[in-house]
Amino acid sequence: MNEAQPVIKNGAVAIRNGKIVAVDTKEKIRASYKADKILPGEGMVLMPGLVNGHSHSAMVLFRSLADDSRC
């Protein structure tokens, strides 16, 4: 990712040893890298993982439930 957050139409990802080494258009990736395996991705979206992307919205239901209790 970068600050411009571009959308790459007909994009591809090159992976070496389990790590992403390039993201670009399908044509540029195919010209620059030789693939042992090509996985289909038409009609899909590739996006970064949602690291620690959870929320505690369900806890709103318990708001103020025990405010007046003494522990």
- What average pLDDT is seen over the chain? 85
How does residue 3 score in pLDDT terms, banded at 50, 70 and 90? confident
Predicted TM-score of the model (pTM): 0.60
The amino acid present at 57, given as its one-letter code, is S
Long-range contacts of 59-65 (CB under 8 A, 24+ apart): none
pLDDT band at 7 (very low <50, low <70, confident <90, very high): confident
Give the residue, 15 or 45, on which the prediction is more confident.
15
- Hey, CA dihedral for 22, 25, 26, 27, is it positive or negative? negative
User: Which residues lie closer than 8 Å to 15 by C-beta, 6 or more apart?
Assistant: 21
Q: What is the dihedral of CA 29, 30, 33, 34, to 10 degrees?
A: 150
Q: Terminus-to-terminus CA distance in the chain, angstroms?
A: 47
